[in-house]
Amino acid sequence: MTRSLTDQRPWLFPGVIPSHPLSRKAFNDQLARARIHSRSARTAALIALATELPAPVLADLLDLHIHTALKWARHAQRDWSTYLSARVGESPQESTPSLPH
């Protein structure tokens, strides 16, 4: 029986050990050598996911600690409750923009 390419290399980025993926550090090192900076794209992707998913789901999906997922959810500010509570003390004139006459 012949083995297909997918049987021989199950990982998109195979590691030194054939049955394991490339480590995060090795992958980041390769990106750095190619002058690819992924930090801002990673941050944007995490914020986008945090706005769409509850923190426990985000933690399970990305293998993050629940506290890390909660921090991303807070950073993304999925709801506007903080904004609304900050506006409670404002007078109506302060919160409504004036219209030109």
Q: Where are the domains of the chain?
A: 42-78
Q: Are the beta carbons of 3 and 18 closer than 8 angstroms?
A: no
| pLDDT, averaged across the chain | 80
Q: Exposed, middle or buried by CB within 10 Å (0-12, 13-18, 19+), for 67?
A: exposed
Give the ranges where 18-54 is alpha helix by DSSP (H): 24-33, 39-52
Question: Which amino acid type is present at position 20?
Answer: H
- Give the predicted TM-score (pTM) of the model: 0.51
pLDDT digits 0-9 by tens, 70-80: 999 988 875 66
Q: Are the beta carbons of 64 and 58 closer than 8 angstroms?
A: yes
Query: How confident is residue 60, by pLDDT bands cut at 50, 70 and 90?
Result: very high
Report the pLDDT value the prediction gives residue 99, as an integer from 0 to 100: 44
